[in-house]
A and B are shown apart, each in its own frame.
Chain A
Amino acid sequence: MSDPDTGAMSPHPAAVLLANAGWSALQDRILMDLCHDLNGRIAALYALWQLTEMGETPPTDLASELARLEGVAGRLAQLLGAVDEAPPAPLEPRQLVERALKCLEGASHASHGSLDLAVEGTLPAVCVNEGRCLRTILLFVDRAVAMAGDVAFTIRGDPDGVELAFDVDGGVGPDDGANLALVDAVVRLDGGAVSVEPARCALRLPSLTRARAEGR
């Protein structure tokens, strides 16, 4: 299926539906993790308050614990921002990726792996639907965690766009490839694509210049 104006390939509607279902499952999982983290923070605050009321010196001060609670609330706000369906707009790609990583940061399901991000060179602004793009990046990062555990992402840019990539030491399995195909289906709605090589996966987003040239 191709766009009559731009000639760009459009994703199959069934693939988009499946990707959206995958997003709903991921969002639910992250929200449950955040609920767990929020509950843990509140439980910690309550324990510290009880010690204080008993006349004990708490092992951690309440202000530090409150700051940690605000950190979890901030991650929750980032995730809820991913449901926004605003029209495509120029955005800083690094901020988008960092928002996605922040949503997953410390979440229980990702606690067995670390997420690192290296930025290579200057990154052009991208032109995407913010909420949808954030969801796409979250799905991509979640797949990366499932495939690689500790993930070292690299983000680099050129005039046509920005590429977020990670290496897979054990190679990309068939199931992983199928899941990434669903991410590809969604990112194509914004003119992007997912490429899967034997030991490397990349998510590409179009630059603002490229998007304008294609009439997006």
Chain B
Amino acid sequence: MMANRPQAQNEGASTPLQILIADDEPTIVSALEKFLTRRGHAVMTAPDANAALLLVDRHRFDAALLDVRMPGGGLTVLEHLRNDPAFEGRVVLMTGALATDPEIPADPRVLRMQKPFRLTEVILMVEGDGPR
């Protein structure tokens, strides 16, 4: 019987992306950074909304993974990105799906990923077909 193990993601992504990861949970950030870097993507990280906004102002990103409840709030960064005509990528909001989580605006470029998540799910959301 085959064990249900996560598939190794040694193969590179077809298109390397510039990805922003913003979360105040350092283990999540470093795990995502390691995983996505091995896929061939270029990753920059931030521990809060202010640091993320500084990166957004200085760099161009193809995708952003934002924690909803990090200091300053992931939605603050989301709104900045949605109002930035130069940003055409997708945003993945990482949420604990708690009753106190803020309401996520409806937007086809905005995806929601509930913690805990499979790393393979991250690939589908960041690299998958869909609006960029």
**Closest beta carbon of chain A to B6's beta carbon, Å:** 5
Which of B25-33, B58-66, B76-84 makes up part of the contact surface? B25-33
A117 at the interface (CB under 8 A from B): no
Complex contact B8–A55 (CB within 8 A): yes
Within 8 A of A (CB), among B17-65: 24-28, 30-35, 38
CA distance A192 to B3 in the complex (A): 61
Contacts A35-B96, A47-B27, A51-B31 given; does A40 touch B6 at CB 8 Å: no
CA distance A63 to B6 in the complex (A): 21
CA distance A108 to B9 in the complex (A): 34
- For chain A, the count of residues having a C-beta within 8 Å of the partner chain is 26
Chain B residues with CB under 8 Å of A54's CB are 6-9, 119
Complex contact B98–A36 (CB within 8 A): yes
Chain B residues with CB under 8 Å of A47's CB are 27-28, 31-32, 35, 116-117, 119
Which of A32, A43, A50 sits near B115, CB closer than 8 Å?
A43
Within 8 A of A (CB), among B76-132: 96, 98-100, 115-119
CA distance A40 to B38 in the complex (A): 23
Contacts A47-B28, A53-B6, A55-B8 given; does A112 touch B71 at CB 8 Å: yes
Mark each residue of chain A from 3 to 15: 1 if its CB lies under 8 Å from any CB of chain B, else 0.
0000000000000
Which of B8, B27, B116 sits near A60, CB closer than 8 Å?
B27
Complex contact B35–A51 (CB within 8 A): yes
Closest to A38 in B: B96
Majority-rule SS of A interface residues: helix
Closest to B9 in A: A54
**Closest beta carbon of chain B to A110's beta carbon, Å:** 11
Q: Which of A32, A50, A58, A65 has the most CB of B within 10 A?
A: A50
Within 8 A of B (CB), among A49-67: 50-51, 53-56, 58-60, 65
**Closest beta carbon of chain A to B114's beta carbon, Å:** 9
A39 at the interface (CB under 8 A from B): yes
Complex contact A40–B34 (CB within 8 A): no
Known: A48-B31, A54-B6, A56-B34. 16 other contacts (CB 8 A): A29-B100, A39-B115, A40-B115, A42-B115, A43-B115, A43-B116, A43-B117, A44-B27, A47-B28, A47-B116, A48-B27, A53-B6, A54-B7, A58-B34, A59-B31, A60-B26
